[in-house]
A and B are shown apart, each in its own frame.
Chain A
Amino acid sequence: MSPAPSLYLPQPTGLQPLHPLTKLVLTLTVLSGAISLADPRYVFATYGLILVPLAGWSRILGPFLRYSFRALAPFLLSLVIIQGFFYPGELVIFSLGPFHYKAEGLGFALLFSGRLLVGLGASLLLLLTTRMDHLMQALTQRGLSAQIAYIVVTTLQIIPRFQSRGEAIFDAQRARGLKTEGSLLRRARALFFLVPPLLFSSLMETDARAVALEARGFGKPGPKTSWAVLTDSGGQRIVRALCAVAALAMIGIRLAAVARPR
């Protein structure tokens, strides 16, 4: 049986002990900053001077950098190449035959890449330092429906569960003589024998789990309590309020800049 999929890395220091809502608000503030800033240097500085030190403080720098670059490196590379050649502009840096690599395209690619890097980095920081069930508990205590919170937490487990179940079905089909390796056509054909049993078994499991949850009072009306204790403080509440104001201000300034006639 595979372990529950979670990026969370428990540590006694850094962001981990903070209230989940504080971390969520910090993430949203950083994201607002990344969207609002129009200069790629400031966007990359957000990553290098805010997110990286926070990851180091939380003792998750290694996985933070690894996940960030593994996920984005191929994408960023293609973005810089494609935008450089095809983004409209006049300042040519170099030419390859009939194609011209332009400074405007490079600038746009860097800004977009920086925003992606900050967006992913901020989200990673949240996921690596926060248990998703605690975050949902915090949101439920602030009025989010328990059903929605449950769906969010369990959805994160669907992909690995699908993977392991798919492997088991594939093995079973192979044992019955199905050829799953070879040409593209043969592999595509093998998928026909994987998808229906995977879907049907998953639907049946979901149905059975829904019934079992009802037996444990999941649908019972009335207030629910929590096993986990989420510690909060006056200082964190102030930080959250300031972050919210800052995020709104940054978005407001950005919107005003976009709306201003040139």
Chain B
Amino acid sequence: MIEVNDLSYTYPGTTRPALDKVSLRLGEGEFVGVVGANGSGKSTLCYALAGFLPTLYQGECHGQVQVAGLDPIRAGPSALAGTVGFVFQDPFSQISGARFSLEEEVAFGLENLGLPREQMAGRVKEALALVGLSDLAGRSPFELSGGEQQRLALASILVLQPQILLLDEPTSQLDPVGAKKVIESVDALTAERRTTVLLIEQRLEWMAAHADRAIVLDAGRVVADGPAREILTAPSLDALGVRRTRYTLAAESAVGRRLIPSPDHLPVTLEQAAVLLR
């Protein structure tokens, strides 16, 4: 579904590449987490897959990228809209500003793709329900809180039913309970549709609960790529500016003090820690 070979990209006015010879492959239906310190190239990687580079940001771009059979570097974002869905960190800037209710806002992307109106209603309703905004369907997008706007941004992309979903910290403004629910709903939906998901998320615990695989970026390079639990518990993450979860650190400490036997893999989530202690 996604194939990246030796992709390098440098933003205009800078000399250090934001992506440095990145190569990776993602199959259909795979749920992959991306971690790394600030400025490691996580968002830039998503921009490249969505066709924003170099079309919207200019800069120097080298290498080959294939996304659902398309070349995003040449095709640009318009050609990929509908195939690749991108949820950004800042929800406010994702509101079109040209629609007066939530359902109209969610339908905006479908209008752009030319979907007949009869097919819009069901999809809009389903997307709003998925993020828990059905009750506010008639309200203005500008009247929402930051967390609600983030749910709206997510619904606006999910309604497009993309084959590939790029989530750049999509729950940063949600409370923990709301964020967990949203991520679980997205996971269930994407699993059902065999959507390929690339998730950037600071909360490794959630990432581990849903991602099959994790990729670590550092200074624009892929420095680790493998099963999520293995990657997200690796001690090398500390030096890369990525904080492992409290469950990982507690279990590691317990193993160090010989309080528990050394497991095959340290836990990342509470559930995995509970299994280890049983």
CB-CB contacts of B237-263 with A at 8 A, as 1s and 0s?
Answer: 000000000000000000000000000
Tell me the interface secondary structure of chain B in the complex.
helix
In the complex, the answer to whether A1 meets B78 with C-beta atoms within 8 Å is: no
CB-CB contacts of B62-100 with A at 8 A, as 1s and 0s?
Answer: 000000000000001111011011101010111111111
Which residues does chain B contribute within 8 Å of A2, judged by CB atoms? 142
Contacting chain A: which of B110-118, B125-133, B206-214?
B110-118
Contacting chain A: which of B9-17, B24-32, B101-109, B196-204?
B101-109
In the complex, the answer to whether A217 meets B78 with C-beta atoms within 8 Å is: yes
Q: Is A258 an interface residue (CB 8 A)?
A: no
Q: CB-nearest residue of chain A relative to B86?
A: A215
Most B Cβ at <10 Å: residue of A4, A154, A212: A212
Given known contacts A1-B143, A205-B92, A214-B81, A220 and B113 CB-to-CB distance under 8 angstroms = yes
In the complex, the answer to whether B98 meets A150 with C-beta atoms within 8 Å is: yes
The interface size of chain A toward B, counting residues with CB under 8 Å, comes to 35
Partner pick for A154 among B84, B88, B97, CB 8 A cutoff: B97
Most B Cβ at <10 Å: residue of A212, A215, A224: A215
In the complex, the answer to whether A228 meets B142 with C-beta atoms within 8 Å is: no
Partner pick for B88 among A4, A208, A210, CB 8 A cutoff: A208
> In the bound complex, how far is the Cα of B99 from the Cα of A136, in angstroms?
11
Q: Is B120 an interface residue (CB 8 A)?
A: yes
Q: Is A131 an interface residue (CB 8 A)?
A: yes
Q: Is A74 an interface residue (CB 8 A)?
A: no
Q: CB-nearest residue of chain A relative to B116?
A: A225
Q: Is B141 an interface residue (CB 8 A)?
A: yes
Q: Is A216 an interface residue (CB 8 A)?
A: yes
> In the bound complex, how far is the Cα of B112 from the Cα of A133, in angstroms?
15
B135 → chain A, closest Cβ, in Å? 17
Partner pick for A214 among B52, B98, B100, B149, CB 8 A cutoff: B52
Which of A168-224 touch B at CB < 8 Å?
205, 208-224
Which residues does chain A contribute within 8 Å of B117, judged by CB atoms? 225-227, 229
Which of A137-169 touch B at CB < 8 Å?
150, 153-154, 157
> In the bound complex, how far is the Cα of B124 from the Cα of A214, in angstroms?
19
In the complex, the answer to whether A211 meets B52 with C-beta atoms within 8 Å is: yes
B179 → chain A, closest Cβ, in Å? 20
> In the bound complex, how far is the Cα of B144 from the Cα of A2, in angstroms?
9
In the complex, the answer to whether B145 meets A1 with C-beta atoms within 8 Å is: yes
Which of A1-40 touch B at CB < 8 Å?
1-4, 6
In the complex, the answer to whether A1 meets B142 with C-beta atoms within 8 Å is: yes
Most A Cβ at <10 Å: residue of B90, B98, B145: B98
In the complex, the answer to whether A3 meets B82 with C-beta atoms within 8 Å is: no
Q: Is B50 an interface residue (CB 8 A)?
A: yes
Given known contacts A4-B140, A213-B96, A225 and B104 CB-to-CB distance under 8 angstroms = no
B53 → chain A, closest Cβ, in Å? 11
> In the bound complex, how far is the Cα of B77 from the Cα of A216, in angstroms?
9
In the complex, the answer to whether A220 meets B94 with C-beta atoms within 8 Å is: no
Q: CB-nearest residue of chain B relative to A219?
A: B78
> In the bound complex, how far is the Cα of B98 from the Cα of A154, in angstroms?
6
In the complex, the answer to whether A217 meets B93 with C-beta atoms within 8 Å is: no
Can you name 10 A-B residue pairings with CB atoms under 8 Å?
Answer: A1-B145, A150-B98, A154-B98, A215-B81, A216-B81, A216-B108, A216-B156, A216-B157, A216-B160, A228-B104
4 interchain residue pairs of minimum CB distance: A217-B81, A217-B112, A208-B93, A227-B107
**A-binding residues in B (CB < 8 A):** 50, 52, 56, 76-79, 81-82, 84-86, 88, 90, 92-100, 103-104, 107-117, 120, 124, 140-145, 149, 156-157, 160
Known: A1-B149, A157-B142; 6 extra A-B contacts, CB below 8 A, are: A211-B56, A212-B94, A213-B96, A214-B76, A217-B81, A220-B79
